[in-house]
Amino acid sequence: MLRGKLVGLVADGVASGTLDDKAIDATLQEMTAAAEARDPAVVDGLTRLHAGLSPDQRKSMAQTIAQGISSLAGQSKTEREQLQRRVDSLTANVGLTPEQTARVKSDILDGYKQFAPELNDEAATRQKQLGGLSQGFAGFYFQPTVANVTAAWDLLPKSKRLIAFARTLTGILNPSQRAQVAALIRERVNFG
């Protein structure tokens, strides 16, 4: 719900040409606080799940988590391609001029490089967390910690990348194009 609120604020900012930084920051703080408040319940839920599983089921769960680690390892390598697809999808039918297309490529796609170290750090943290859960789940004793299940740690960087993307795109598009892109953003939140 809060993620939808944030994306709605971003879409409103794209449409109007000005992002409401105060409202966006407040929503980011709400999202982080909500995720942090949820973390102890996640730890409790995992502990209860572990206690209710047989040794074979715990081993299977550990293997499933390990498979998740493997799939995440390749994800950071395709972040740029995912960004390219998102940009292409959001700008496909808004009538970009050749100059706008060039700016989208240089300002957004090439500017992606500033986020590459952050994305690599996020992937490494995610792998470390899941690795600890995978090893722990297979064992008889299981004591997950909030550090291994936290939902808050990556919300802020991901949201900041979304905001940076929207801010840059807003500066490239004309009012009609901004309205079209904002509508697409809202549609994706409602149905994606």
CA distances from 38 to 118, 150, 170 (A): 24, 8, 34
> How much of the chain, in percent, has pLDDT values that exceed 90?
17
Tell me if the pTM is above 0.85. no
CA distances from 56 to 44, 60, 137, 141, 183 (A): 21, 6, 11, 14, 48
Total count of domains within the chain: 1
What's the pLDDT score for residue 192?
Answer: 46
Angle of helix 155-172 relative to helix 79-91, nearest 10 degrees, comes to: 40
Domain ranges, residue 100: 2-191
| pLDDT band per the 50, 70, 90 thresholds, residue 10 | very high
Instruction: Return the higher-pLDDT residue of 47 and 10.
Output: 10
What's the pLDDT score for residue 157?
Answer: 76
Range among 36-50, 69-83, 138-152 rated most confident: 36-50
